[in-house]
Structure 1
């Protein structure tokens, strides 16, 4: 992977990580166009820049993440992340296979887009608008929804947890914020495991040139995500999810046609 390729993928990740349009799908779709070939390092790169993007949430919501007097906040995140850790560990082989199937990912993109067209109408009367009102059972339920994104690459972790939050009566803004919070432990665990797997099985992959690419990608992803988070919250408060649903459907159909024709 060249530095140019790393920067483009990092920009895509930073822009899409917090939107309900699947950053994983976008990176998988972009790789063939950029001439990026599958490899253990590329897999690790994608996970690490996702975590870098997630760190922007810690910066933006630093008062919440570093308010050590509110232990229940941390407990909610721990409880919510447990289902994803279990499912990810048990179904690793299935997940790796699904991530390489562009036709499957495209179909999931389309299905998720159809759901987003109606989500605002499905959850009109949600009234939980403060994170302190999220109970431990509700946090666990939202964490279970996150598993759907693991089982269905292309669904979007953000979309799955936002839908889960709204199903638990959270307002769409709070559902989005809690989705951001939950991403931190989830992607931290995924990044550590991915980094360790590559180091253990392919230690020669982490040469100095690759480390440089990894660092540059992480920095770019972090900066772009800082801008994207604030923009997404502002847009969501005014307009809802319909535009994201339309976008998912259009992109999913385009990639599906290209994949079926063997052009990707």
Structure 2
């Protein structure tokens, strides 16, 4: 990987990880257009730079993590369904990741759903993510399982899941951010473990690339989260829905046109 490719991918990760637009779909387009070879380090990089985006949530919402231990237990409860299914269906999920068409189709389907979400769930009863019950957290966790299908978007799944539980858009989005921390941290640890278990090691240059990627992802994610909350609260999901449809259509066009889209 070149430093330019790292900067581009880190910006994309920071921008898209917490938005309901599928960071996976955007990474596929970016790596394909730049011709990035899906080496073991590249595959690791696209996961581990999530550590920078995790840190952005901790920095923006640090006060929330010192209020009560009850909050942590709710995150654990919400994370159980996807963690269990992810382990049980890991091989199946890997097969899905080999299909760029799957990612493209799910982008479009998810986009269509987002066009109507604001009308379907327009009577929220909870505007504070701290007031989420264990039952609500567990149900949101099941919605997160949808994100095991590439192109669905973890953020979109959990935010919509929160809205089905009568959470406001803001409360659902914030809980989605918090829930991302254990899931993304776990994914990074597993990826690092597999990387070293397979006999790979970091060169000094690769360490620099990881540091740069995480720093850029951290800064961009802070901007993205702040902007997203404002846009979501004021305008809803429709713009994100149309955006997903456009991106998914571009992916489908590239696939039909014979463009080689390497899944990272």
Q: TM-score range by the shorter chain?
A: over 0.9
> Which runs of 5 or more residues in structure 1 are unaligned?
none
Deviation at 1:12, TM superposition (A): 0.5
Aligned partner (choices 99, 102, 126) of residue 100 of structure 2? 102
3-state SS in 1 of match to 2:49: helix
1:211 offset after TM fit, Å? 1.4
Deviation by residue 1:117-161 (Cα, 9 ceiling, x = unmatched): 0000000111111223211011011011111001x1111000000
**1:220-239 mapped onto 2 (5 Å cutoff):** 220-239=216-235
Equivalent of 1:191 in 163, 188, 191 = 188
Residue pairs, 1:59-74, within 5 angstroms: 59-67=59-67, 70-74=68-72
Find 2:176's aligned residue among 176, 179, 190.
Answer: 179
Alpha-carbon deviations, 1:39-72, whole Å to 9, x = none? Answer: 22112111111231122011000001133xx111
TM-score by length of 2: 0.96
- Deviation of residue 100 (structure 1)? 2.6
Asked if structure 2 preserves the Cα contact closer than 8 Å seen for 1:50 and 1:221, the reply is yes
Indicate the RMSD between aligned Cα atoms, in angstroms: 1.1
Query: Structure 1 length as normaliser, TM-score?
Result: 0.96
Q: Which runs of 5+ in 2 are unaligned?
A: none
- 2-side partners of 1:214 and 1:114: how far apart? 35
Q: Does 1:258 align with 2:225?
A: no
Aligned equivalents of 1:50 and 1:29: distance in 2? 18
Report what 2:76 is aligned to: 78
For the residue of structure 2 that corresponds to 1:203, the secondary structure is coil
Moved more, 93-102 or 80-89: 93-102
The partner residue of 1:113 within 108, 111, 114 is 111
For 1:144 and 1:203, locate their aligned partners in 2 and report how far apart those are by CA, in whole Å.
Answer: 34
SS at match of 1:129: coil
